[in-house]
Structure 1
Amino acid sequence: MIDEFGCIGWDTKVVDLLGYPGYTLGNDTTACDSDELIIDAGAERISEYSGEQTITPFIDYTWNTGNQEQTQEITEPGDYWVEIFDGCFYLRDTIHVDYYPSPEITRLDTLYYAQVSVFADNGTSPYQFAMDDENRLQNENTFKNVQNGEHTVYVEDKNGCTALKVFSLNSTYDINVPNFFTPNNDGFNDTWVIDGVERLPDSEIFIYDRYGKLLRRFKASESISWDGEYQNKPVPSDDYWYVIHLQPVDKLIKGNVTIKR
């Protein structure tokens, strides 16, 4: 530079060109089809030059879905890309999303007293199950000694996808023990059937003659009836005594039954 008096001056300035910055949406991801998945393109990029950090906010967003917001809600599998502009650079990245099917609780079996069995479908087996505490998973789908009231059951499949169901349990047992039966093969009242004990399959039934001899002992899970025989032979018409030990309620029912032939 020369001024009006013919004096010359000069200066030196170093100019560095900004390198093209990197940008990423993140890794490809998977989600359960029951989940809400949001991809966040970020609000700014951070760069460093000569030991100084510079924060450059993003100005514009353009997704392949037509969305122009910072975040994109994902509702189905596929490829999703976004192009962002920071005032200097247009940056783009693509992410692939896969979906796993979520399990479904199809049925609750409350037939047995204080017991709940959970059945699931869809999703990816094997399943794990929990009741009231979703973190206490177990492989067995049956829960015993369940108190009456409201409960929540959970199912988690191999991919970590989950389902839950809230239900109310009002488990009761009504045991009806007949006081006689007529095993004469006429097709009517031929067996002694204990109604209701099938809800307590761990219960045991003991049958004695009038002298205290044990004629039969069996669990409710094996049978809920007696045909009036001992060692495959009919016992005579008489009174017989029984003891029914109900489990898991730990209650005894005692009485007598009359056989009429």
Structure 2
Amino acid sequence: MSTRTSNPVAPYAHTSQHYDATEDWMRRDWQEPSQLQKANFIEEIWSEGDAPVNEALDLCCGTGLTLASMTQRGYHVTGLDRSPAMLEQAARKLEPEDRERLVLATLPDIPLRKEFDAAYSTGGALNYLPNDTSLLRTFEAVHRVLRPGGTFVFDLYTDALLARQVEQTTPATRAIELGEACTFLFTCRRSATSGFYDMTMVRYVRDDATGTYARSSEEHRLFTPDQGTVRGLVAQAGFGGIRVFDNYTRQPTGSQTLHETYTMVKPG
């Protein structure tokens, strides 16, 4: 069998078609909560607000797994993502009238002039923001588009989680099978000086018509700001009622927390 090779590209340009198939792996190895648990938690936080939620913003919506879940619950959700390929996958989960709510944009830019009742971001999407400035500007942008009393929920991967991924891929790369047609090789390395993590994913997808495997690779750089810094930045952006939970539960965070779930309110 021959192999075709492509150069590294923007995140998710190639993996978008198989991204949803990684959900079981993420739940098992990364201890990601299910979409049901995420949606239930977000909805519970919304129920605590002073007004009902109708219009919601999904930051970095990806392939629309959470977005579709919240839409099915009757919310009008606008999805924003920097990847055209991921938005294309999200559109396939939505009714035609809801696809107009998908917006191509890169944080901290939120090019919307409407007001939302709530906003959320799941799956460690904000770990891609490289510094305090980009985080603050993102929080300020979310604050701008929320109505007074509106809620913001987001999660962050912790250093404990990504350090675990380094341990699992050192010294050997991990091979993850996503069905019969797709396998990807995964490595995670921590910068010795700057504190960020670089993940490399090399994907092999079988083309049954030609009997060949197409190879593509992607690089992802993730940052793990500490909780004190994040709390300070969201407060500086104007949010109040800041709480941090362990992985979409009501449990407090601790040294073993892998996913921090932040909730907050734009004061009325």
Q: Which bin holds the TM-score, normalised by the shorter protein? A: under 0.3
Higher helix share: 2
Q: Report 1 or 2 for greater relative contact order, CA contacts < 8 Å, sequence distance ≥ 6.
A: 2
Higher strand share: 1
Structure of greater Rg: 1
